[in-house]
Amino acid sequence: MGLLRLKMPPKFQLLALVAFAIAMIVLENQIQKLEESRGKLGKNLSFPMNKSLSDLFNFLIIIYLFVFQVRFVKNVTLWKEMKPAFYHGHVSFLDFTKFGVKKKPIYINVIRDPIERLVSYYYFLRFGDDYRPGLRRRKQGDKKTFDECVAAGGSDCAPEKLWLQIPFFCGHYSECWNIGSKWALEQAKYNLVNEYMLVGVTEELEDFVMMLEAALPRFFKGATELYRTGKKSHLRKTSEKKPPTKEAIARLQQSDIWKMENEFYEFALEQFQYVRAHAVREKDGELYLLAQNFFYEKIYPKTT
């Protein structure tokens, strides 16, 4: 990435400015489409919170639209002028080592209960959220509730719409996006355990923030206090969301797709709770990394 500076005549500068403005409008539309298509993976907590922290600790926040894998990998690894940086985006897992680079980014993520996510996404498409309440959404004007959609067998609430968190963690293989793929489920589990430093759940968000602060103070020092005492501007709330009935939930839970997505969610939750129990301890409302639980038996060569 970088800026290309050229000397142009005034009239060409004006044309370039107009072209840039048009490009920004197109980009804004693409961002909205991306935001709507990602399916409400979780409450969008990271960016505003880290914006406050970046002002204090002097690191950059880069929001990206994912287009070309190779170019993105090169930018992240070679863009030394823009480090340290916190990259925030909605993209499937990308294996940097596949492109021959030695240094990989530290992956973190947050997931949520699959039905909760789908319900939130359903109403988000119709009413948006409190982040940009005036923005027109793709399904704006559709007053049908989620329960009514399920009862009518609508496409926006179909079990296939649950298939999202597995493929995002699975990666960029075509099989990841084959709905109901058992291979994709196992690959997603593998990546979660082996490639992500920490994956939290929205139901235990404060603990997730505390663990990030304990493990990565360079980026998250003060995040817990900000989460507890701030205005919660980092938490987007979907407007007009109505909780589904037990009947609607039971109907979705009959699907094999729900069973697989829920298995992945339960796997992530269990892993998160395991890491929390074995890596940190809480004292007086603060979370601390456990003391060193290993020792060096011998060190060569011996120093005099």
Residue in 88, 172, 234, 278 annotated catalytic: 88
End-to-end CA distance of the chain: 50
Strand partners, 288: 281
Q: For residue 102, what is the enclosing H or E element? A: none
Contact criterion met (CB below 8 Å) for 272 and 200: yes
Q: Residue 122 has which token pair?
A: 């359903």
Contact criterion met (CB below 8 Å) for 195 and 95: yes
144 contact partners, CB below 8 Å, separation of at least 6: 152, 154
Active site residue 278: no
Q: Residue 123 has which token pair?
A: 């109403």
DSSP H stretches of helix in the chain: 10-37, 46-57, 69-78, 114-127, 146-152, 165-170, 182-195, 205-215, 217-220, 223-229, 246-253, 256-279
Q: Residue 9 has which token pair?
A: 């005549």
Distance CA 30, CA 220 (A): 30
Q: At what angle do helices 246-253 and 256-279 cross, to 10 degrees?
A: 100
Active site residue 234: no
DSSP symbol at 108: E
Angle of CA points 189, 195, 196, to nearest 5°: 85
- The residues annotated with a catalytic role in the active site are 88, 90
